[in-house]
Amino acid sequence: MRQLLAVALGLVVLAASACSAPAPPRSDAPSATPAGPATLPAPTGAHPVGTTALYLKDTSRPDPWNLDVDARELKVTLWYPTERRDGQRAPYMTPKESELTLKGLRVAGVPNDTLSRTRTNAVQDAEPAGRKLPLVVLSPGFTKPVSTLTSLAEDLASRGYVVAGIDHTYESYATTFPDGRVAECLACDSDTDPGFGTGVVQGRAADVSFVLDHLTSTWDGSDLIDRSRIAMAGQSIGGASAMAAMLTDSRVRAGIDMDGTTYARIPKSGFSRPFMFIGSPQHTPGGRDNSWDRDWKLLTGWKRWLVLSDAEHQSFTDGPLLAGALGIKPLPGVLPAARSAELTRTYVAAFLDQHLKSQREPLLDKPSSRYPEVKFCPGTYCSA
Going along the chain from its start, the domains and CATH numbers come out as 8-377 (3.40.50.1820)
Taking alpha carbons only, the member of 291, 217, 223 closest to residue 251 is 217
Run of H or E residues at 165? strand 162-167
Query: For residue 329, what pLDDT band results from cuts at 50, 70 and 90?
Result: confident
What is the mean pLDDT of the segment spanning 314-321? 96
pTM for the model stands at 0.92
Of the candidate ranges 116-125, 186-195, 221-230, the one whose mean pLDDT is the lowest: 186-195
Residue 380: Cβ within 10 Å count: 9
pLDDT tens digits, 10-41: 443 323 334 443 333 333 345 566 667 899 99
What pLDDT score was predicted for residue 11?
A: 42
Helix axes 237-248, 196-213, angle to 10 degrees: 60
The distance between the two most distant Cα atoms of the chain, rounded to a whole number of Å, is 55
pLDDT tens digits, 210-256: 999 999 998 999 999 999 999 999 999 999 999 999 999 999 999 99
Instruction: State whether residue 162 is helix, strand or coil.
Output: strand
Q: Is the pLDDT of residue 100 over 90?
A: yes
DSSP state of 167: E
Assess contact for 311 and 347: CB atoms under 8 A.
no
Residue scoring higher pLDDT (278 or 381): 278
Q: Is the pLDDT of residue 205 over 90?
A: yes
Are β-strands 254-258 and 225-235 bridged in parallel, bridged antiparallel, or unpaired? Answer: parallel
Q: At 154, which amino acid appears?
A: E
Assess contact for 149 and 168: CB atoms under 8 A.
no
- C-alpha–C-alpha distance, residues 344 and 107, integer Å: 26
